[in-house]
Structure 1
Amino acid sequence: MPDLTFQTPAPDAVAEPPQDRDTFRLAAFGALLVVVLFAGYGIGRLSGSSGGGSGAANGPTAPAAQPTMGMAGNENAPHTHAAATASNANPGEAVGGLAVTASGLTLVPEITTTFPAGVRKPFRFRITASGGASVTTFAVVHDKPLHLVVVRRDLAVYQHLHPTMGPDGTWAVDLNLPDPGSYRAIADFTAIVGGNQVPTSLGVDLAVPGDYRPVPLPPPTQSATTDRFTVSYEGTPHAGVAEPLLVSVNSVDGKPAELEPYLGAYGHLVVLREGDVGYVHVHPEPQLVDGKVKFWLAAPGPGNYRMFFDFQVAGRVHTAAWSVTVG
């Protein structure tokens, strides 16, 4: 390897003129500057190609996601969820009701979660935010600030209720659970916390002591009879793909029933999964299609489901139910 150590000139060497020395120093400085610039350029190219830096090679940096704000400055204004369409239906609906705490909110039952079979008894609970304070402001969704679905875990018993809230944030509703077994109470709501809307659904187990005999899920069908109506649907639900479901309601004489708006829509579809009671609430399109209620459903995954359709005729609410298997 060559020796790059600078040597002191011998005594008999001829000294360089001052002007030549200055010229040499200037040229050396220029060469060093060129080396530094090229080195910096190379380092920049390497950094850009590794994805760790910004620059023209990587394109503009995407802006950070911003939180969605809801009803700023008007927390008590009504709020409605948009009806599902093919373009906005989720590729696999979000499953709710599986946890007692989600999105920083907790469902806190009060007094008891055990109920006698066939006896009306109040069920009270609160929705609390981080720190344990009760939430007292909720957006109105489909005419109500909170929807409570109570279902037995074998999906044989279903109730869609609307508790009322006291000034302290305590919700109350009378429950009459007809048969022994384990039930799931699912609160579906949009809380307003710090000026932001927080839609979520939380669930808690309820117990009815006694001789519990689970009922097998009925076989899949696309038609059901409830009260004096025959209710059927057209369409095939698939996992992860939004598919249209058209629900028709006919009276005993075969004529289409005159559906009335119920909770801001011509019908409500609650889909519950067998096994874990995963909960999906699907909203219909705002107008009837050839006299039928049109939903867009993307099942959250394969499995067996029970679908409950609530509708209103002549001021009375009815519920039809079907089983469906999603492959």
Structure 2
Amino acid sequence: MKKWLIRISCLVLAVALVACGNTTNNSSSKPADPHADHKTEEKKAESQTHVEWSTTIHKPKSSGEINIKVKEHSGKAVPEFKVNHEKLLHLIIVSEDLSYFDHVHPEYKGSGEFTIQTQVPKAGKYKLIADYIPKDGAQTTQTYTFTAQGDVNKEAIQPDPKLVKVVDGKEISLQISPEPQVNQQTMLTFQIKDATNKQGITDLQPYLGAVGHVVILSEDTEEYLHVHPMDEKSTGPEAKFHTKFPKSGIYKIWGQFQRDGKVFTVPFVVKVL
């Protein structure tokens, strides 16, 4: 009898150990990607809308219209947009060689449609980048390329040997820390002085709700970064921006600021390792 009790006890113990072993294996399985849902939502947001583009700009120095219709993939117009830095849509216009840059804000006509009258300075290809946020969606960028007819004269793009420029009587220097490398948090610090007396300018006015804005494009115009300042209420002489460069190569950086009611743009070209 004692032998049977011992055998039964051993059998119960073995079953319990197997059950515990199975529980341990389940709990030690690889955890789910904590960013998986976020990535899914990003992809969903990116696919929610598209833009139907048209333009009557066919040659340089001749005014024409850019028309932007933001639609859902069903074909229905996107009815409402979130205000993003004081505007419903930001439009970047840049030449293929990055020598020309403009940051404008088309007029909203309703039913997802924006238009603007503008012109470009020379013949060649131009890239349009629409930056907007649908009311129930995420920040979205859509692009389009058109050509202004004529003899094309491309300008070579080379990194600036010194990151100091003078624009509209202001001396602007750019410090990048640490040295720009791919996928590394990088601080862009703009120092803005009076070009004559070298005194720091402390009366910058808000531009689109902040001390300044920075747009960055890769040499092939495929990588687009729209960067906002760390301290939006700063009035100078410093303006700091955090960013990451997604791949190595040459990039052009445009900083935009406002003083005395006038926006000034300063460009820099850098190489990312």
Q: What TM-score do you get using the length of structure 1 for normalisation? A: 0.70
- Deviation digits for residues 188-230 of structure 1, max 9, x if unmatched? 111123xxx3112111112111111211014323111222222
Deviation, structure 1 residue 130: 2.5
Q: Structure 1 residues 60, 109: CA separation in 2 closer, same or farther (over 3 Å shift)? A: closer
Counterpart CA distance in 2 for 1:200 and 1:60 is 30
The equivalent of 2:107 in structure 1 is 164
Q: Please give the per-residue CA displacement for 1:102-155, whole angstroms capped at 9, x wherever unaligned.
A: 332212113x46522111111101111131211121111111111100101110
Post-superposition offset of 1:275: 1.6
Do structure 1's residue 224 and structure 2's residue 155 form an aligned pair? no
Higher helix share: 2
| Separation in structure 2 between the aligned mates of residue 119 and residue 64 of structure 1, nearest angstrom | 48
Q: CA RMSD in A?
A: 3.2
Contact 1:122–1:173 under 8 Å retained in 2: yes
Aligned to 2:245: 299
Q: Write the mapping of 1:62-77 to structure 2, written as runs, cut at 5 A.
A: none
More displaced stretch, 311-320 vs 125-134: 125-134
Q: Secondary structure at the match of 1:235?
A: strand
Structure 2 partner of 1:261: 206
Instruction: Provide, for residues 304-323 of structure 1, a one-character-per-residue CA deviation record: whole Å limited to 9, x for no partner.
Output: 00000111110011111010
Say if 1:142 and 1:321 are closer, same or farther in 2 by CA, change over 3 A: same
- Paired with 2:127 and 2:99, the residues of 1 have a C-alpha distance of 12
Q: Higher RCO, 1 or 2 (CA under 8 Å, sep at least 6)? A: 1
Shift of 1:41: 5.0
5+ residue gaps in structure 2?
none
In the TM superposition, what are the counterparts of 1:32-111 in structure 2 within 5 Å?
A: 35=11, 38-39=14-15, 42=18, 45-46=21-22, 48-49=24-25, 53-54=26-27, 102-110=46-54
In structure 1, the residue matched to 2:72 is: 129
Amino acid at match of 1:317: V
| Structure 1 outlier segments of 4+, above 4 Å | 30-37, 57-68
Deviating more after overlay: 315-324 vs 31-40? 31-40
Q: Mind listing any 5+ residue stretches in structure 1 that lack a counterpart?
A: 1-22, 69-93, 95-100
Task: Describe the SS at the equivalent of 1:131.
Answer: coil
Per the alignment, residue 125 of structure 2 pairs with 182
Q: CA deviation at 1:66?
A: 5.9
Residues 238-272 of structure 1 deviation map (CA, whole Å, 9 limit, x = unaligned) = 32222222212223312333311110111111111
CA distance in 1, matches of 2:97, 2:34: 47
Identity of aligned residues (%): 26
Structure with greater strand share of residues: 2
Greater Rg, structure 1 or structure 2? Answer: 1
Amino acid at match of 2:246: P
Partner of residue 312 from structure 1, selected from 255, 258, 266:
258
Distance across 2 between alignment mates of 1:199 and 1:262: 20
Report the count of equivalent residues.
Answer: 261
Distance 1:240 1:67 in 2: 19
TM-score, normalisation: structure 2 = 0.83
